[in-house]
A and B are shown apart, each in its own frame.
Chain A
Amino acid sequence: MRRTSESAYLLYLGCAIPSRVLSYEVAARKVAEGFGLRLVEMPEFSCCGLPLDAISHDMMLVLAAQNLCLAEQQELNIMTLCPGCNGTLCTVNEMLKKDRGVRERVNGQLSEVGMEFRGDISVRHLVQVLLRDIGLKAIKDSVARPLKGLKAAAHHGCHLLRPSRHLGIDDPEHPTILKKLIEATGSRCLDYRNELECCGATVVMTRPTDATGERLGKDNVSLKITREKLVHLKEAGAEALVTVCPSCYRMYDVNQPIIERAFNESFGIPVLHYPELLALAMGIDPEELALNEHRVNTSKILQTM
């Protein structure tokens, strides 16, 4: 098997982050720089395939496979920021490595564009890279401004954990990775009701319509799902929600004012990407982060520091 460098990763950004959730990318790059983690830009990457799985499983497979091939050509492991991309690339990578029938079929398709899946790289999410390559101790040591006064809460996100059979990142029913990472910044990490609840993003994003083209879910199913978590966070007294997923972030942050208006409630719970929380604790100037990109004002968090 080909040797791949452990300290350098190809950064796979996916679709949502590099266009709509820039604050996540900014902070992830700052944190990586802070730990001397080399991130290599990934040439010609495309959508991971996940949103097309509903239309055609074969199209999803070949899209994911060609992204994996691009990384193999660079002889580097992939680091993802989006758990959706991560789940797709990990699952397909594992499937193609283990299932010869699928591999041969997909390679037959890829050969038409001059590509071949070999199966010699790995895919890891940012939280895995932080825990595995950098480690909790080094993270704790890097904290220059412990976020002692902050009461944060973790939202791991569905695709980071499930299907656990393929991902195996953490216990899918009692995940602790993000909690440990939050506590490493000196912040408290609160428990709250129904922590594993989905954010409901896919129901909004795919905008399902019925045959007449009328929008389904007009009873606001996905916003009700999102709202419920905000209610539980408010009950627990959370001062910030910490996520590692661009879709969850968009539901809890970007849609929070919409939910407040629709349900006539107020939450005002800032939502941070984990690398933002870490960057603040590491003493990186908040001005260097893209905190003003957030819909819910984050200045309350800065005051607790």
Chain B
Amino acid sequence: MNEGVEVAEEEAESRESEKERFYRLSSTDSRFKYELGRVPGSEKLLLCLQCGTCTADCPVARFSDSYRPVRILRMAQLGMRERVLLSDEIWLCATCFACSERCHQGVEFANILRALRNMAVKEGIIPQGFREIASNVLKVGFSNEITKFQRRKREKLGLPPLPNSNPERIAKLAEIVGFLSLIERGNEKNV
């Protein structure tokens, strides 16, 4: 008896997940591919033929269950805007550029992925690690804070003292290019 119930539940579950695998056409954004294709570096998005070379050569795809460049490209072409921009996968790229290098259609996936990340940031999504890097660059001009211990070690090894960066200038530039407001919005969303 019990076994029968379990089987029925399992079947219902698998039907449910089967449904989730289909994406409603009404929730796609047919202009998304053009919006993305206008970003410098992403112009060849529509030339992707889904051959999968990018994915076959991707070191992350080899070891990840979910990261597939070819799938992200297809979803972008189909206008699955939210599904792509809200996904965790777009943050997994190792930026090794193997995909861009070997695509015979000249689709530079690494650039397209960067454009997708920039778009996700505009939606207020900035993963913790990137927020830390941004805050360090704004504070000290470098992606990591340079500690007193590290400075002393430089001295001990006979290395010249590190020149100070110019965080005021960087903050000014960050304001001009709209970087500061992006980070602030990201901080509000990711408390």
Q: How far is the CA of A203 from the CA of B125 in the complex (A)?
A: 17
Rounded to whole angstroms, the CA-CA distance of A57 and B120 in the bound complex is 13
Establish whether residues B64 and A221, one from each chain, have CB atoms under 8 Å apart when the complex forms. yes
Q: What 1/0 mask marks residues of chain A from 206 to 228 whose CB sits below 8 Å from any chain B CB?
A: 11111101001101011011000
How close is A142's CB to chain B, nearest CB, in angstroms? 21
Given contacts A58-B179, A66-B173, contact A46 B165 (CB under 8 A): yes
16 contacts between A and B (CB under 8 A): A22-B157, A25-B159, A46-B166, A52-B130, A54-B117, A57-B40, A58-B178, A113-B169, A159-B97, A162-B98, A163-B97, A198-B59, A198-B94, A203-B60, A211-B190, A221-B63
A288 to chain B, nearest CB (A): 8
Q: Within 8 Å CB of A146, what residues of B?
A: none
Q: How far is the CA of A274 from the CA of B141 in the complex (A)?
A: 28
Shortest Cβ distance from A108 into chain B, in angstroms?
9
Chain B contact-residue range equals: 35 or more
Q: List the B side residues contacting A54 at CB < 8 Å.
A: 91, 114, 117-118, 121, 130
Q: Does A206 contact B133, Cβ atoms closer than 8 Å? A: yes
Q: Does any Cβ of A come within 8 Å of B3's Cβ?
A: no
Query: Other CB < 8 Å A-B pairs besides A52-B179, A55-B130, A202-B93, 14 of them?
Result: A46-B141, A46-B165, A47-B143, A51-B130, A55-B183, A56-B182, A57-B115, A63-B170, A163-B108, A202-B96, A208-B130, A209-B91, A221-B60, A290-B157
Q: B2 within 8 Å of A by Cβ?
A: no
A41 at interface by CB-CB < 8 Å: yes
Which 9 residue pairs spanning A and B have beta carbons closest together? A207-B129, A208-B91, A198-B96, A162-B97, A46-B141, A158-B96, A15-B142, A59-B179, A46-B165
Asked if B50 is at the interface (CB within 8 A of a chain A CB), the reply is no
Contact of A209 among B62, B67, B128 (CB under 8 A): B128
Q: Decide yes or no whether B49 CB sits under 8 A from chain A.
A: no
User: Nearest B residue to A62 by beta-carbon distance?
Assistant: B173
> Does the CB pair A219–B65 fall under 8 Å?
yes
Closest to A39 in B: B160
A203 and B91 alpha carbons, distance in the complex (Å): 8
User: Given A56, A62, A163, A201, which contacts B94 in the complex, CB threshold below 8 Å?
Assistant: A201
Does A9 belong to the interface (CB within 8 Å)? Answer: no
A109 contacts partner chain B, Cβ-Cβ < 8 Å: yes
CA separation between A25 and B164, bound complex, in Å?
17
Residues of A within 8 A of B (CB): 13, 15-16, 18-20, 22, 25-26, 29, 41-47, 51-59, 62-63, 66, 102, 109-110, 112-113, 158-159, 162-164, 172, 196-198, 200-203, 205-211, 213, 216-217, 219, 221-222, 224-225, 290
The CA of A225 and the CA of B121, in the complex, are separated in Å by: 27
Cα-based distance from A45 to B101 in the complex (angstroms): 30
- When the two chains form their complex, are residues B143 and A51 in contact, meaning their CB atoms are under 8 A apart? yes
Question: Chain A nearest CB: distance from B75 CB in Å?
Answer: 18
Residues of chain A contacted by B93 (CB below 8 angstroms): 202
Return the contact of B91 from the options A16, A26, A51, A216 (Cβ within 8 A). A216
B118 near A109 (CB under 8 angstroms)?
Answer: no
Q: Are B129 and A206 in contact (CB under 8 A)?
A: yes
Whether the pair B147, A213 counts as a contact (CB closer than 8 A) is no
Q: Scan B107-140; emit 1 where CB is below 8 A from any A CB, else 0.
A: 0101000110110010001111110111001000
Cross-chain contact B88 with A210 (CB below 8 angstroms): yes
Q: Are the CB atoms of A109 and B147 closer together than 8 Å?
A: no
- Shortest Cβ distance from residue A245 to the other chain B in the assembled complex, whole angstroms: 12
Chain B CB within 10 Å — which of A20, A29, A46 has the most?
A46
Chain A residue nearest to B101 in the complex (CB): A162
B174 proximal to A (CB < 8 A): yes
CB distance from B144 to the nearest CB of A (A): 6
* Residue contact B141 to A207, C-beta cutoff 8 Å: no
Q: Kindly state the separation between the CA atoms of A208 and B173 in the bound complex, as whole angstroms.
A: 26
- Bound Cα distance A216, B118 (Å): 19
A203, B92: Cβ atoms closer than 8 Å = yes
Q: Are A19 and B118 in contact (CB under 8 A)?
A: no
A50 to chain B, nearest CB (A): 8
Contact A202 B118 (CB under 8 A): no
- Does B15 belong to the interface (CB within 8 Å)? no
Question: A57 — nearest CB in chain B belongs to which residue?
Answer: B118
CA distance A43 to B132 in the complex (A): 25
Given A216-B92, A225-B60, CB of A56 within 8 Å of CB of B163: no
**Residues B179 and A56 in contact, CB atoms below 8 Å apart:** yes
